[in-house]
Chain A
Amino acid sequence: MTDLSPAGAKDAPVTDAAAAVTLARATGSAPARWTWGQIGLLVVLAVVVLFTVPNPSLAIGMLIFGLWAAGLNLLVGYGGLVSFGHALPFAYGGYAAGLVLKNVTTSAWVALFVATVSMALLSALIGAVCLRRTEVYFSMLTLAFAQLGFFIALQWNDVTGGDDGLAGVPVSTLELGFTTLELNGLRDPLTFFLVTAVIVLLTFAALILFTESPMGRVLQAIRESEERARGCGYNTRLVQLVTFIIAGAVAGLAGGLFAMLNNFVGLQPYWLLSGVVLIMVILGGRSSLFGPFLGAVLYLMLESTLSRYTDSWQFFVGAIFVICVLLFPQGLWGLLTTTVPHLLRRTRGAR
């Protein structure tokens, strides 16, 4: 009962609690009923956020960060590839959308399309280098690329606004054929929220499809044993690269939405920002796509609550994160879906 380490489950005789954790870590075995049901859960979560979070821009931010974190979890949870540089496609996606809106057109479609596609391309280049090695090398390489990107953004003042950020991104418009919506996060947050929710849900559904697709399954198999996946004839690097590109494109989309929400793209150290999204993933749980989404909502709630009481709120975030990694590596969602029901069953069985 005390052994909560999944590794213990691998070599030692399997204890019940360890088995539950093992289950939770095994993405492929995330309770089957929640696979597509995650979309339903997300709808529920979005509705809850809409009605309970008083600050509209925070509520919209939760959707955007949730999508960003869910995309990262393709790499972290499903691929076993911990990227420490996921801020890069988010921030650059923001620049891409912001620059399009400022200089080319105020069409939200075009801005988001450019943000998504450009980050897919950038991720293809970065992934090609980072995926030359895996495990900790991969983490360090992604971190280094993020830092490189940060310096470029910092120095390339004319384009990015450098340290001051890219200001004056105009309000965008969304042509829907029958009508044209103005996406103004300040004056009409409800429209912005609903449009974001639809985009996020559709993208989320596409991510689930990916995890359920043959390639998504191979991705998980590579996490388990790359050698064996190669032995089946798979080009494992290619599968990982495709995943890296998808995660980057989703981050670009999220970054574009975030730029549209704030009419601004700020600059902060990318290692820190990459860390934030990673914390969201781990807090929520890496065994599903919904988990990171929940983690993002939880993190932003923690941030907005704690920062009201103390300037050192990051201290508590760090502490919670450390406890989470130490004791609940399956995260909140993993805890709710596997360990808790499992323990309930045990106590009931014991009676």
Chain B
Amino acid sequence: MTGLILKAEGLDRSFGGIHAVKDVSLEVPQGALHAIIGPNGSGKTTLFNLITGHTKPGKGRVEFDGHDITGMPFAKVARRGLAKSYQITTVFPLLTVFENVRIAAQAASHANVFWRPADSIKAVTRRTDEVLEKIGLTADRDAIASNLSHGDQRRLDLAIALATEPRLLLLDEPTAGMSPSETASTVELVRELNREVTILMIEHKMDVILSIASAITVLHQGEKLFEGAPDEVKSHPKVQEVYLTGSL
């Protein structure tokens, strides 16, 4: 096959008079860690929503693993192996950390039945513990999710996405609101996760992006301004202009 896990062609969407995303195309090869950057209001999150089906595109199409998923309900897209971590942390607040992740792991196991106890499905329990270990939440296994610190909740959000065994992971600003040390460990985590799963992420912090991304797309006012490797992006005059003239 082409080796592309995600292919978006000419995505376009307006809200009222605002043209949020203008004719953006995107190709993400298997195994990549592709980052989307751009100032606030440049259409990053809308682009994400167009990909996941949360927002229906006015024009254009999205292909996931060779299948057209344009405008498909999110749950269906998720079942095909696309997971999303949320910009505003979204966990199951009153369930335990373990239960949060197990719900996700169970989805991948296709064992959504009602005539046997969930505890008896060992593969799911094993998978859950694996993910907790990987994300570093094992110690908080039995804590109620809403009692975790902000940073830990973001990691839990990521753990839930990961436990569904996705083939493409969409991360919406995984380090938002994190302290420098939390950011550093999350960056490390993302880099590690990328060994197993293709990642497409939105990020604000330039240093984060430049250190880990394999390719970067720069959005500006809904349009693709530039696309390339981190080094090229760093030295590209247009990108510098957008970022340095304070259009942020």
A contacting B, Cβ–Cβ less than 8 Å? yes
Which A residues are within 8 Å of any B CB, using their own CB? 9-10, 14, 19, 22-23, 25-29, 209-210, 212-218, 220-221, 224-225, 227-236, 239, 242, 246
Query: How far apart sit A261 and B91, CA to CA, in the bound complex (Å)?
Result: 46
Query: How far apart sit A19 and B74, CA to CA, in the bound complex (Å)?
Result: 33
Contact residue among B96, B116, B118, B160 (Cβ-Cβ distance under 8 Å from A232): B160
A10: which B residues are within 8 A, CB to CB?
93, 146
Min CB–CB distance A15 → chain B (angstroms): 11
Segment of B33-41, B75-83, B185-193 engaged in the interface with chain A: B75-83
Check A213/B104 contact, CB under 8 A, given A225-B90, A227-B90, A228-B90: no
The count of A-to-B residue pairs whose CB atoms sit within 8 angstroms is 120
> Is B95 within 8 A of A29, CB to CB?
yes
Min CB–CB distance A214 → chain B (angstroms): 5
> Is B92 within 8 A of A214, CB to CB?
no
Contact residue among A27, A29, A213 (Cβ-Cβ distance under 8 Å from B116): A213
Query: How far apart sit A210 and B113, CA to CA, in the bound complex (Å)?
Result: 9
Query: How far apart sit A27 and B144, CA to CA, in the bound complex (Å)?
Result: 11
B113: which A residues are within 8 A, CB to CB?
213-215
> Is B91 within 8 A of A234, CB to CB?
no
> Is B91 within 8 A of A225, CB to CB?
yes
CB proximity to A under 8 Å, residues B80-105: 83-84, 86, 90-96, 99-100, 102-104
Min CB–CB distance A328 → chain B (angstroms): 17
Binary A-proximity of B96-130 (CB < 8 A = 1, otherwise 0): 10011011101110011111111101001000000
> Is A225 within 8 A of B92, CB to CB?
yes
Min CB–CB distance A205 → chain B (angstroms): 12
> Is A28 within 8 A of B79, CB to CB?
no
> Is B160 within 8 A of A228, CB to CB?
yes
B144: which A residues are within 8 A, CB to CB?
19, 22-23, 26, 29
Closest to B164 in A: A232
> Is B91 within 8 A of A9, CB to CB?
no
Query: How far apart sit A212 and B143, CA to CA, in the bound complex (Å)?
Result: 19
> Is A22 within 8 A of B146, CB to CB?
yes
